[in-house]
Amino acid sequence: MNETLQQWFDACLGTLGTLGGGVRRPDGSSACRSADETFPTEKVERVVELLAQFQPELSSAMAAPRWSTWQFEQGKIRCVCRPDGWLFGLVVRTESDAANNLNKVSDEFLALDLTASNGSS
């Protein structure tokens, strides 16, 4: 990840109520991290993998949404896909700072300059 993306990603994961998140590059590689011991990195990786698999189906069924959110009893999953192939997934607790900031971090991800980003993490 480039430094700008890394700093932004670290800030997202540091928000109270974040369970974990991941960024998937256009080449299919990803960087995922847990932010809460109750939601290990392996689960974050699986969520991001499933989001990447599911997103093309969702985009073809709808007019390419800017992002998708799934709400559960105790949490939310946000998926943001960029036209350049980057994907961001975030898992947060319901009624938390992280849940209240989902639209803000989604807009920020869409606005990031990722042209200098490469495949290394």
Which band of pLDDT confidence, cut at 50, 70 and 90, is reported for residue 121? very low
- The answer to whether residue 75 scores a pLDDT higher than 70 is yes
Query: What is the pTM assigned to this prediction?
Result: 0.87
What is the domain extent for residue 68?
Answer: 18-111
DSSP character string of 43-105: HHHHHHHHHHHHHHHHHHHTT--SEEEEE-SSEEEEEEE-TTS-EEEEEEETTSHHHHTHHHH
The residues facing 46 across adjacent strands are: none
Note whether residue 2 is domain-resident.
Answer: no
Note whether residue 54 is domain-resident.
Answer: yes
- SS3 (DSSP) at 11: helix
- The answer to whether residue 74 scores a pLDDT higher than 70 is yes
Which band of pLDDT confidence, cut at 50, 70 and 90, is reported for residue 76? very high
**pLDDT confidence of residue 9:** 96
Mean pLDDT of the chain: 89
CATH number of the domain that 103 lies in? 3.30.450.30
The rounded distance, in Å, linking the Cα atoms of 88 and 55 is 11
Q: What is the pLDDT of residues 34-43, one digit of tens each?
A: 999 999 999 9
**What is the count of structural domains for the chain?**
1
Note whether residue 96 is domain-resident.
Answer: yes
- The answer to whether residue 120 scores a pLDDT higher than 70 is no
- The answer to whether residue 3 scores a pLDDT higher than 50 is yes
Q: What is the pLDDT of residues 23-35, one digit of tens each?
A: 999 999 999 999 9
Note whether residue 8 is domain-resident.
Answer: no
